[in-house]
């Protein structure tokens, strides 16, 4: 069981504390993605120093390599990767659909071949719960089917109904412990009637938190926000709300405005490795020739290690020379930027000024 306490509200936005076995999560929160038991180009201490309360791992990737059984033998995922704070693990449903080949979906689960070596596997709701238990996840996600986009209403309905049946099986297989929780995933694509059914039936089953899945899959910012607007009224007020796979800073601010509490996305780490930085004045491509002799920090309003110690010219040089340090410094900055944004969001909610902050932010960065 998890404890979720709302501390302040500003419009629909909420500031809260989510208590887990490995510590408190201050929400709204952004979870850096550590898919394969590592946040790419970051040490655990670097992630911690950026202000993150929680990171995300992934069932699909870890079951294939190095295996959940090996991680359990090593003392669990926290010990294995030397991260002492909370961990949420995605159930593997999205990755099975997007990465594996020759997959076959049935009522039982999904048969697929590994994208690593072609080996055959069966992932079911029961097996997903077992894997996440072996990993020691503070927050376990139900096993669901994440449909592609665009999708017809009929196909979205069939997929959503399968996910509901898998949700019941996930809950039955989840081992309850104090400080550990199970989140449901609301599906239904961009169809309001399907989202309503999914949310209502999942609430009847009963979970520790509710995630919105099936977005950030190509529908665009406006349709994502529109879907949130008609989905959020069906979510329980006293439980955490998690928008999966989102996203860009403007997406985060817009979603907090609708009542979302938790986020994850590969954007800050992937962008960092590719030379793109998020700054107080917008995005920056540090590979740009104009930065080759620029002695200013990447972001003059940032207090991260990268900005305090290195110039744009140096970062430009690192990327042109294909030095690993460039990816490390830019990823560190981006994770710091995202955590600083979440801190500012929480402060604005406490001051009951979030709607004004959101309007100004969206006008500046959209």
> Which residues are catalytically annotated?
90, 264
How many Å apart are CA 262 and CA 241, to the nearest integer?
6
Using alpha carbons, select from 283, 285, 336, 287 the residue that is nearest to residue 308: 336
- Tokens read off for 364: 């500046």
The token pair at 51 is: 């202000």
Q: From CA 93, how far away is CA 7, in angstroms rounded?
A: 33
Pairing verdict, β 13-20 and 3-10: antiparallel
Cα–Cα dist 194/312, whole Å: 48
| CA 326 to mean position of chain CA atoms | 24
Question: Which of 114, 144, 98 is closest to 122 using CA atoms?
Answer: 114
Give pairs for 2-8: CB < 8 Å, separation 24+.
2/139, 2/179, 2/180, 2/181, 2/208, 2/209, 2/240, 4/208, 4/209, 4/238, 4/239, 4/240, 6/238, 7/350, 8/349, 8/350, 8/352
Q: State the number of CA atoms in the 13 A half-sphere of 115 facing the CB.
A: 10
What secondary structure letter does DSSP report for 311? B
> Which has the closest alpha carbon to 173: 128, 205, 211?
128
Q: What are phi and psi of 44, to 5 degrees?
A: -55, -40
Strands 110-113 and 55-58: unpaired
Cα separation, 167 vs 239, in Å, equals 17
Sign of the dihedral defined by the CA atoms of residues 240, 211, 228, 194, in that order: negative
């Amino acid at each position: 069981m998890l404890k979720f306490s709302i501390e302040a509200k500003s419009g629909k936005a909420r500031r809260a504390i989510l208590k887990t076995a490995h510590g408190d999560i201050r929400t709204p929160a952004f979870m850096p993605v550590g898919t394969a038991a590592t946040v790419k180009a970051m040490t655990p201490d670097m992630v911690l120093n950026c202000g993150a309360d929680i990171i995300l791992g992934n069932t699909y990737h870890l079951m294939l390599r190095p295996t959940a059984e090996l991680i359990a033998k090593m003392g669990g995922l926290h010990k294995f990767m030397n991260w002492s704070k909370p961990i949420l693990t995605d159930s593997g449903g999205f990755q099975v659909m997007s990465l594996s080949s020759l997959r076959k979906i049935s009522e039982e689960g999904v048969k697929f071949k590994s994208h690593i070596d072609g080996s055959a596997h069966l992932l079911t709701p029961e097996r997903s719960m077992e894997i996440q238990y072996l990993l020691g996840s503070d927050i376990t996600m139900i096993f669901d089917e994440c449909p592609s986009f665009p999708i017809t209403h009929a196909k979205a309905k069939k997929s959503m109904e399968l996910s509901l049946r898998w949700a019941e099986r996930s809950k039955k297989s989840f081992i309850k412990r104090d400080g550990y929780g199970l989140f449901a995933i609301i599906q239904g694509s961009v169809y309001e009637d399907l989202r309503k059914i999914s949310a209502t039936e999942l609430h009847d089953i009963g979970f520790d938190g509710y995630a919105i899945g099936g977005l950030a899959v190509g529908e665009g910012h406006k349709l994502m926000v529109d879907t949130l607007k008609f989905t959020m009224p069906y979510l329980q007020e006293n439980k955490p709300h998690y928008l999966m796979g989102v996203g860009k800073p403007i997406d985060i601010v817009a979603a907090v405005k609708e009542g979302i509490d938790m986020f994850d996305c590969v954007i800050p780490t992937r962008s960092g490795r590719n030379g793109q930085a998020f700054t107080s004045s917008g995005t920056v491509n540090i590979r740009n020739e104009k930065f080759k002799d620029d002695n200013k920090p990447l972001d003059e309003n940032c207090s991260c290690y990268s900005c305090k110690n290195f110039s744009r010219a140096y970062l430009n040089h690192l990327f042109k020379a294909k030095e690993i340090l460039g990816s490390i410094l830019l990823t560190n900055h981006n994770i710091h930027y995202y955590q600083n944004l979440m801190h500012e969001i929480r402060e604005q909610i406490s001051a009951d000024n979030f709607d004004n902050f959101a309007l100004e932010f969206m006008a500046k960065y959209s």
